[in-house]
Amino acid sequence: MRVRVAILGCGNRGADVYARLLAAGGAQVAWLVDPRPARLAEVAARHGLGPEACLTHWEEFFALGRVADAVVVATPDDEHVEPCVRALALGYDVLLEKPICLEEAELGRLLAAEAASAGRVTVCHVLRATPFFRAVAAGLRSGRLGRLVGISLAENVAWWHYAHSYVRGNWRASPPAAPFLLAKSSHDLDLLRAWAGSEPQRVSSAGDLVHFRRDEAPPGAADRCGHCPVTGCPYDARRIYPPRDPQAWPVTVLTAEGVPLADALAHGPYGRCVYAGGNNQPDHQTVTVTFANGVVGTLTVSAFTHNNTRTLKLMGTHGELRGHLERGELDWHDFASGTVLREVVDTTGTHGGGDAGLVSAWLAFLRREADVPTPLAESLDSHRIAFAAERARQRGTVEAL
């Protein structure tokens, strides 16, 4: 029998990523929930669903009782915990978008809800499911680096991606959105934790919003790009969106519900000047985590990079690994032999193949052919580190966990 899935939140992740991949993997997208009627109709048509399968709030969906096998929670950041708890109360298995929650206390509430339920939570830490990061984990397990001592991981956000999501987009202000580190990098903190193989003990962090502020605006800049006289601004929305694929993210974010791109740029948030204000997320941040086994990991997340990828350096007593996600390259340096072995890994697909990898692993779990791919309990430390790092960044402290 086909697994019946309800999609709560039919935005980019819920509809364009998970619903598509789930349908392609043989699941039945049975219910769609979203407050935007035009978007609901658009997504319903993709899956051959009628209006009776479309609801406007997750409260309405849960009021129906148990009418599917599993739910995807892909609502905005501040609406993850409540629908997840409600789904667990009905025994649903849940695919839960990150961030898991916005308050540290909610982690315990979710764990308790899961413990009391027949359902299990799979957290969308999709990077774990990429062939690239699976190869890193396998290499570490093989012992080829000796004892792991240090990790240096960089999340290169890309200047235009940061401007899209964290200046103009949904994550421009925290609250209501998650703090930058939690919103952008819970994946990376999850990887640090997994590679260290030990509990985080101390966290420090530095970073700020240095550029996307009114006092950084070029002289004469207008509040909207459409009538701005400044030339050569890389953040000019007219240079960012129209040249890109109209059928792909991020342009689809502007044109959802059939809005013409020109109208979105003229009137919507994505045509606003990046220096016009309203945003408060740091545009660069570095976190240092000391783990109980002595491994020290750093993560640097920055808007000011030319491309959008992860780069890493894992330093062991007998070898070093340097990696570049976009190129799929892993260079394994062996100190004793002086050799470098280059491993090239397939990185096609969104999130380097992680979205497809996670959905396929979740479907295998729903069919009871495999375990939960990214369990809730294992994913919590990434969030604990992120909460501590935000306190450390704001207060200038070293936080003990």
Pairwise CA distance, residues 59 & 211, whole Å: 40
Q: Is 353 in the site for ligand NAD (CB under 6 A)?
A: no
Q: Is 72 in the site for ligand NAD (CB under 6 A)?
A: no
8 Å CB contact between 275 and 216: yes
Contact residue for ligand NAD among 19, 49, 77, 274 (CB under 6 A): 77
Q: Is 12 in the site for ligand NAD (CB under 6 A)?
A: yes
**CB-based contacts of 215, cutoff 8 Å, min separation 6:** none
Residue 257: CB minimum distance to ligand NAD, A: 9
Report the site for ligand NAD in 161-200 (rule: CB under 6 A). 170, 183
Contact residue for ligand NAD among 19, 30, 79, 271 (CB under 6 A): 79
8 Å CB contact between 366 and 70: yes
Residue 163: CB minimum distance to ligand NAD, A: 16
Q: Which is nearer to ligand NAD, 10 or 121 (CB)?
A: 10
Q: Which is nearer to ligand NAD, 146 or 268 (CB)?
A: 268
Give which of 195, 201, 203, 202 is closest to 147, Cα–Cα: 195
Contact residue for ligand NAD among 3, 5, 6, 10 (CB under 6 A): 10
8 Å CB contact between 213 and 276: no
Contact residue for ligand NAD among 35, 234, 260, 278 (CB under 6 A): 35
Report the site for ligand NAD in 307-336 (rule: CB under 6 A). none
Give which of 102, 97, 40 is closest to 72, Cα–Cα: 97
Q: Which is nearer to ligand NAD, 80 or 333 (CB)?
A: 80
User: Nearest 5 degrees, angle CA 309-CA 200-CA 354?
Assistant: 30
Q: Is 254 in the site for ligand NAD (CB under 6 A)?
A: no
Q: Which is nearer to ligand NAD, 35 or 51 (CB)?
A: 35
8 Å CB contact between 345 and 132: yes
Q: How many CB atoms within 10 Å of residue 332? A: 20
Q: Is 14 in the site for ligand NAD (CB under 6 A)?
A: yes
Q: Is 379 in the site for ligand NAD (CB under 6 A)?
A: no
Q: Is 124 in the site for ligand NAD (CB under 6 A)?
A: yes
Binding site for ligand NAD (CB under 6 A): 8-14, 33-36, 39, 57-58, 74-77, 79, 97-98, 124, 126, 170, 183, 351
